Amino acid sequence: MTEDGMEKTYTCTAPVNIAVIKYWGKRDEDLILPINSSLSVTLHQDQLKTTTTVAIGNSFQEDRIWLNGKEEDISHPRLQSCLREIRRLARKRRNDADPGVDSTGLTHKVHICSINNFPTAAGLASSAAGFACLVYTLAQAFGVEGELSVVARQGSGSACRSMYGGFVQWLMGHQSDGKDSLAQQHRAESVVPGRMVEMIKAVHSKDFTEFAELTMKDSNQFHATCLDTYPPIIYLNRVSHQVINLVHRYNHHYGETRVAYTFDAGPNAVIFTLEQHIPDFIQAVRHFFPPETNGGEFIKGLPVPHADLSEELKIAIGLEPMPKGISYIISTKPGPGPCVVRDPTQHLLGPDGLPKNTVRHHSPETDTVAKHKNGY
């Protein structure tokens, strides 16, 4: 942002993350401080990402935001929390550098435009990618550096984990102000209780079997706890349970844990497996969840080589097929954290500070993934 307050525009992207040790709840609702530490895998932005453009200009009358082509209420408390904190950090940075510098530009209004290339309600942590991208882009626009995961956490708890790539842990912290509740790329010297310790060891030793079994146990325990509340919270459906059965029978047939599932707050399974097992398992999914013949692509994202499904595996799994139970599969891999988009033609906002025409008609259901049913 220039000192004379002329409009400046910035665009960034941020990834989806999938928790394998889950965030089970908050000890502080306002600051979004968790009751436990968690660990996630950041998915690659080539398949799943949020893109956000932020423009700052002295001609803007008010802060405004557009999400997936539709203007939304910018007064949402969590949005305001992120905006306030970025502006506070920007003022502090300027004052620390030169207490006498004119900070007029920091009072200018912002226009924000954000789109997902996946359905917002697809159970793919869209709020995490969205708030991570918002905070990262605002930081670029206001010249803020440093620990941004603390700011992203105030928008959406799991958003702090989307501030980094690969395996990321969100430390629960202990301070009442939440300054030590932040995310960091996984490091060997980090020590946290219980299942997190076991998962950290599995990640560092590249022990997929241990990683897979811990992932499934944590998912099962999370959903069992949801069922044990009164009234119960039920996220999984018939297709979800059938996917669970498929995974366990597939693993049993091979006598080893080749595939793992996890479910967040929704019915959609996220499957983890090693690259060499993808073609075989995908064929099993296709066989037991036959897709629509004219329903578009069944496998989206990274290409999956064809494999023949053995009769022995079909018999061993032995489930009743559920036609059209799964709409599509998004094939992806771990990837990096937020990125700055340098090409100005990729800005979502035009020179007038309003969404470009292509954004106004954007629909995540028709972008890189199809209308959502029970995809995973």
**What domains, with CATH codes, occur in the chain?**
8-193+334-366 (3.30.230.10), 198-331 (3.30.70.890)
Helix (H) or strand (E) holding 340: strand 339-340
Of 69, 75, 161, 65, nearest to 120 (Cα)?
A: 69
Interval 85-110: pLDDT, tens: 999 999 998 888 766 554 546 788 99
Q: What's the confidence (pLDDT) of residue 364?
A: 56
Residues in the chain where the model's pLDDT stays below 70: 1-6, 98-105, 120-126, 187-193, 294-295, 361-376
Question: In the 8-state DSSP scheme, what is residue 176?
Answer: T
Q: What's the confidence (pLDDT) of residue 355?
A: 95
> Distance between CA atoms of 322 and 313, rounded to whole angstroms?
17
Residues 162/128, Cβ–Cβ less than 8 Å: yes
- For residue 15, cis peptide bond before it (omega within 30 degrees of 0): no
Q: What's the confidence (pLDDT) of residue 293?
A: 75
Q: What's the confidence (pLDDT) of residue 4?
A: 39
> Distance between CA atoms of 195 and 271, rounded to whole angstroms?
20
Q: What's the confidence (pLDDT) of residue 348?
A: 97
Residues 173/183, Cβ–Cβ less than 8 Å: no
Largest Cα separation within the chain, whole Å, is 77
> Distance between CA atoms of 155 and 157, rounded to whole angstroms?
7
Interval 115-154: pLDDT, tens: 998 776 555 556 899 999 999 999 999 999 988 999 999 9
User: Average pLDDT over the chain, rounded to whole?
Assistant: 88
Q: What percent of the chain has pLDDT over 70?
A: 88
Q: What's the confidence (pLDDT) of residue 85?
A: 95
Vertex 177: Cα angle to 41 and 221 (nearest 5) = 40
